[in-house]
Amino acid sequence: MPAAKSAKTTEHAVKPGLRVGVLALQGDVEEHLAALAACKAEGVRVKTVEELETIDGLIIPGGESTTIANLLERFKLQKPLLERAKAGMPVWGTCMGMIVMAEKVAGSKQPTLGLLHIEVKRNAFGRQIESTEEPLEIEGLDGKPFPGVFIRAPWIESAWGGAHILSFLEGKGVMVWQRNLLGTSFHPELTDDLRIHKYFLQMVSAAKQ
């Protein structure tokens, strides 16, 4: 991402008292909560508008993208979530969560939040990478390659309008940043490596400053 706006690990200290929500309608909720706890951050389940209003940032976990889009409508969370994201609240989507955040889904008219200026392809890696771990070089992330856990993962077909791809696998985008938004094709919550959770926490911390 551009250096002037980077959430690079060396640039921002994480403020104490951050309250980060995990959308608790489906998916890897407990795994994200455990990772946030390991980062010394308060993680909370979010299923209501009232709970959404209390948080500083939100993680949309992996699961089934069409189901989550429908549940957001049923729980009346879509509009307030969009309003908070557009007002600057950091939001991070992992795997299915990135699809839900995308503006376009290749070959599909499924509803999305339309936040990230990207086009994604569902289950893009197919049988080759249905469930595997691949080392990833990630722009702005210091240290060794990140262990990317891919489970029927999407990839990023294209990005525009400020969306910046931070990592590639086999020439396809698998991580994207756009101001207060983050998307990953893979599942950092299924590893012991906390660097991307800390990266997101730095985005949340910076948004509060």
What is the average pLDDT across 90-104? 96
Mean pLDDT, to the nearest integer, of 69-98?
A: 94
pLDDT bucket at 78, cuts 50 / 70 / 90: very high
pLDDT at 136 over 80: yes
Q: How far apart are CA 45 and CA 30, in angstroms?
A: 9
**Catalytic residue flag (residue 95):** yes
- Show the tokens assigned to 152: 């029927």
Residue in 95, 117, 164, 197 annotated catalytic: 95
Whole-number Å distance between alpha carbons of 121 and 191: 24
26 or 83: which leads in pLDDT: 83
Confidence of residue 69 (pLDDT cuts 50, 70, 90): confident
- Specify whether the CB–CB gap between 94 and 60 falls below 8 A: yes
39 is annotated as an active-site residue: no
Does residue 9 surpass a pLDDT of 60? no
Domain 16-208 class in CATH:
alpha beta
| CA nearest to 91, candidates 190, 187, 180 | 180
* pLDDT of 73: 86
Q: Which of these is catalytic: 31, 32, 117, 189?
A: 189
Residue 202: both structure tokens together = 């730095």
Catalytic choice (32, 117, 164, 187): 187
Concatenate the DSSP letters of all residues of 153-188 into one string. --EEEEE-TT-EEEEEETTEEEEEEETTEEEESS-G
CA distance 154 to 22: 20
Stretch 180-207: mean pLDDT: 97
| Ranges of each domain in the chain | 16-208
Given a cut of 50, whether residue 10 has pLDDT beyond it is: no
How confident is the model over 46-63, as pLDDT tens digits? 999 999 999 999 999 987
Range 145-160 average pLDDT = 95
The two beta strands, 155-159 and 116-121, are antiparallel
pTM of the full predicted structure? Answer: 0.91
Strands 172-178 and 164-169: antiparallel
- How far apart are the C-alpha atoms of 19 and 42, rounded to whole Å? 5
